[in-house]
Amino acid sequence: MSKLRQFPSRGAVRVARMRPADVLVLLGVVAVFYLVARVGASTDQPFDVDAPPVVSTDPGELPYYAARSLLRMFVGLVPAVIFTFVFGTWAARSRRAAKVIVPAIDILQSVPVLTFLSITVTGFIAMFPGSTLGLELASVFAVFTALVWNMAMAFYQSLITQSKELDEAARLLRLTRWQRFWKVDVPSGMIAQVWNGMISFGAAWFALSASETISVNGSDNGLPGVGSYVAQALDNGEGMRVALAVVVMIAMVVSVNFLFWRPVTAWAERFRTEDCEIAEQPRSWFLELLRRSTVTALLGRMLRPAGERLDRAMRVLGTSPGRLHHDPVRRRRADVAFYVLYTAAVAAVLWQACTYILDNVPVGEIGHAARLALITYGRVMILVVFSTLVWVPIGAWIGMNPKVNRIAQPIVQVLASFPSNFLFPLAVVVLGASGISLNWGAIALMALGAQWYVLFNVIAGASSIPGDLREASDDLGLRGWLRWRKLVLPAVFPSYTTGALAASGGAWNASIPGELVSYGTTTLTAVGIGAYITQATDSGDFARNFLGAVLMSVYVVIINRLLWRRLYRFAQKRCAS
């Protein structure tokens, strides 16, 4: 008896159809690859140190310049993410590595990017003589350094505060080190990593705009970009073209937030493990478009075999260790040897730095530069106090009103991301007309970019207050100052501390271009370490530039240890209680 032929049911046969979302996603992918290839091909051009190229201020070049700037930002983001995962995990899993990595990151994130920009430019030009690739890498390195320290510290903090349940589950399941990293560590720290990456990306815009044009040894080294376009237009006194570049920059920042950070922020909410939900869930129209498309699922299936092979290859790293009992005597001896070597290395570096400065800068000038740094430090603290008094109550009000928050938060993101030095020419005109000295006006210039970090973080902290706590405070009749003291201030204080620290670092960075500003033939100079560093950079005086960077770093590290770290510890105890 012959077998009956069996046909699949009608529902089992699925005809592949192109959805409108698929068409849009495919067109977008093709456009991105084409633009990256087209713009990236022009990064390696002939370059003569004695005759650097002049940046054109033709408005028709602005779209191309914007694409070049945007490419540098995302190229700098890739190594920052890799560094964050590697060194953040290493510091969290190795006690001795943490003794080196965490203080190094703490110091490096305290060093303003612009203090060593001229040094890196000179080094990269020497690495790639006769090519603009050296300038490109120097600009990318400036973006990298503006991004990486905050991101790495945030990931490290997420790992060392990981819940005991996740840690025990990883050990009991005998996950490999790679599985522990990819399946447990990265998802548990994803939300904090995304938000800190978004804040750091905003700071990187400032570093990028400054790195695209810098004077070394009296020679202006410019790269095609929005920052160099603005600098050249300022030198030419072309106010309308500066305004046009500002509009292009705003459009670029808004587009990046809409097409990249907003979708990533909404996607990261899938990794939230808290019992209570935030008051306002982030949403993204662009993310919904990607989810409706089958292209992303197809891409995932194509990459799955490569991921499985990578997982098998990473088994050589071993299994996530259990709780081992080490010989205390042997561990103590190893610790002593480690600290001796570590202390000797740090002492050798400090000795070389001090020797170099004393050999090239008079002792009296070192004291003068220290007083200049103290003056700039005073401006920074005035800015932080002003931002606290003004933006904490406003940010808390915005964050606790979902309707207002939905409108205000994207605006604050743009303000925090916008390079404040683009607005310095307007400030020069205003200060010149009003007769206000730049010694006081520099505080306003530094606040143009730094104050938004306080507002942004306070909004984020207030919007994350659980709804049940708000309802409980209403039921208890908490009003006025009592509500602020018992609910609002304890809830936003950790976020405020993060924002105030970021604002302080941004103010130190902004002091370098903010204490010596020019527009056309008008140049204003303030008394401070920022102007000292700018003058040393323009003249190619490496020793004085290095001295300014060291003094600025010393002040920043001291204030971090005496104030911000103590506030962090207080916030952690306050939240835990």
Contact 400/466 with Cβ under 8 angstroms?
A: no
Number of C-beta neighbours around residue 528 at 10 A: 27
Q: Enter the DSSP assignment of 55.
A: P
Cα separation, 19 vs 294, in Å, equals 8
- C-alpha pair distances (Å), 69 with each of 34, 77, 485, 573: 16, 13, 45, 42
Please write the tens of the pLDDT for every residue from 168-191.
Answer: 777 777 777 888 888 888 888 887
Give domain limits for the chain. Answer: 19-272+280-315, 345-577
Number of C-beta neighbours around residue 539 at 10 A: 14
User: Which positions of the chain have pLDDT values less than 50?
Assistant: 1, 11-13, 15, 276, 279, 322-325, 576-577
Cα separation, 324 vs 318, in Å, equals 15
Element (H, E) at 213: strand 213-216
Which residues face 122 on adjacent strands? none
What is the widest separation between alpha-carbon atoms in the chain?
109
DSSP 105-163: HHHHTTS-GGGGHHHHHHHHHHHSTTBTHHHHHHHHHHHHHHHHHHHHHHHHHHHHT--
Number of C-beta neighbours around residue 537 at 10 A: 25
Number of C-beta neighbours around residue 197 at 10 A: 24
Angle between helices 190-211 and 62-93 (to 10 degrees): 130
Contact 503/556 with Cβ under 8 angstroms?
A: no
91 Cβ contact partners less than 8 Å away, ≥ 6 residues apart: 97, 98, 101, 102, 156
Q: State the sign of the Cα–Cα–Cα–Cα dihedral 493, 405, 70, 444.
A: negative
Cα separation, 560 vs 347, in Å, equals 21
pTM of the model: 0.79
Among 446, 547, 551, 545, which Cα is nearest to 120's? 545
Query: Right CATH number for 19-272+280-315 from 1.10.1040.10, 2.60.40.10, 1.20.1090.10, 1.10.3720.10?
Result: 1.10.3720.10
| Domains 19-272+280-315 and 345-577 belong to one CATH topology | yes
Task: For the domain covering 345-577, report its CATH number.
Answer: 1.10.3720.10
